[in-house]
Chains A and B, each alone.
Chain A
Amino acid sequence: QKEVEQDPGPLSVPEGAIVSLNCTYSNSAFQYFMWYRQYSRKGPELLMYTYSSGNKEDGRFTAQVDKSSKYISLFIRDSQPSDSATYLCAMSRSGGSYIPTFGRGTSLIVHP
């Protein structure tokens, strides 16, 4: 079993839909949780970063961490075709080197 599991999709939704992207993990030592967006033929770009449990909101994006269930989510409200990309979750331990462990990414397609 991989340390971080993420459904590769693709997830296809109509414009305006609420999108839910998820990752599960097995290592309870993870404390930092990140979401990256990667457009085709580009490098990943950091979208959201949270520490420990709870929610964080930034515009149309909400990141949620449930450490008791080892489950993290990224919600996208009012999805747009420009949100079509691959979304990668990543997480790392506190202290030490902060080397992140990445999920495989979920491909999201928002169609007009």
Chain B
Amino acid sequence: DARVTQTPRHKVTEMGQEVTMRCQPILGHNTVFWYRQTMMQGLELLAYFRNRAPLDDSGMPKDRFSAEMPDATLATLKIQPSEPRDSAVYFCASGFEQFFGPGTRLTVL
């Protein structure tokens, strides 16, 4: 049963701490997306990779966010330093049809 996996599922941290979220896309998918979802803004695209290369990260605050794909089976999203306004659910999706993972619920205190 092919699915996108994300870790951790929940993360509570204090302001200023580094947060790393991981995503394993569906094997064979060459596109990976990172989204942030909040009640106020809905789903916002943060970054988009094709064949592991970042094609669009215009939605990502560059001063604190970074996204990488060290290999085809792993995508990472890092926030350093984290702020309370980063509290949201972060989703990874792979494939053109956007198969979503279960999300990482981040709370920054």
Where the two chains meet, the residues of A that have a C-beta atom closer than 8 Å to any C-beta of B are 34, 36, 41-46, 49, 88, 90, 97-100, 102-105
Contacts and interface: CB of A to CB of B under 8 A. Distances in A.
Contacts, number: 44
Interface residues of B, number: 21
Interface of B: 4, 31, 33, 42-43, 45, 48, 50, 55-56, 91, 93, 96-103, 105
B56 A49 contact: no
The 10 closest A-B pairs by CB, nearest first: A43-B100, A104-B42, A102-B43, A44-B100, A46-B97, A43-B102, A43-B103, A43-B91, A43-B101, A98-B96
A99 B45 contact: yes
Nearest to B35: A102
B47 to A, nearest CB: 10
A3 to B, nearest CB: 12
Given A36-B100, A43-B91, A97-B56, 17 more contacts: A34-B97, A36-B98, A42-B102, A43-B4, A43-B100, A43-B103, A44-B98, A45-B100, A46-B98, A49-B97, A88-B42, A88-B43, A97-B55, A99-B33, A99-B48, A99-B56, A105-B43
